[in-house]
């Protein structure tokens, strides 16, 4: 059975689907930013990936149904947004290269832990190798 041809009244709805898809893709970055305080959501970007995936799926399906140039252009913008987010998420989110300072032996020191216990380097070295990491605090 032959599928019915789209009518003139259904064309604006298909165009609206393409616009909705672009809106979903554009909302991906604010969604990631809104969930940035949750460590798992920040590191996985799941809210943004969900919106981008949904937007691309709807946009591509709208372009397959509606062959108008502007609908196809919007689907291309959806795919471009997906590629740009992937580049930003994986390319720019990586940690910068660092130089680790290696010493044969660090000078002895004693520091107070957050529990109020004194920690001595010599005591920790007696248990095994020690990895010292220095963080800059609020200045």
Distance CA 123, CA 134 (A): 19
Model-level pTM? Answer: 0.59
Q: Which of 117, 17, 18, 32 lies closest to 76, judged by CA?
A: 18
Segment 83-134, tens digit of pLDDT: 999 988 888 767 666 666 665 677 889 988 888 999 999 999 899 888 877 7
Q: Where in the chain are the domains?
A: 13-92
Q: Is residue 77 a contact partner of residue 22, using CB atoms and an 8 Å limit?
A: yes
């Amino acid at each position: 059975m032959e599928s019915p041809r789209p009518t003139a009244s259904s064309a604006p709805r298909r165009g609206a689907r393409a616009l909705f898809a672009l809106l979903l893709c554009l909302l991906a970055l604010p969604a990631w930013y809104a969930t940035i305080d949750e460590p798992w959501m920040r590191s996985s970007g799941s809210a943004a990936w969900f919106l981008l995936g949904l937007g691309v799926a709807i946009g591509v399906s709208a372009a397959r149904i509606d062959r108008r140039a502007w609908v196809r252009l919007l689907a291309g913008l959806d795919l471009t947004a997906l590629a740009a987010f992937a580049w930003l998420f994986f390319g720019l989110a990586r940690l910068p290269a660092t130089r680790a300072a290696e010493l044969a032996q660090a000078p002895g020191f004693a520091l107070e832990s957050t529990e109020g216990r004194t920690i001595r380097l010599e005591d920790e070295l007696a248990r095994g190798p020690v990895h010292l990491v220095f963080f800059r605090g609020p200045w």
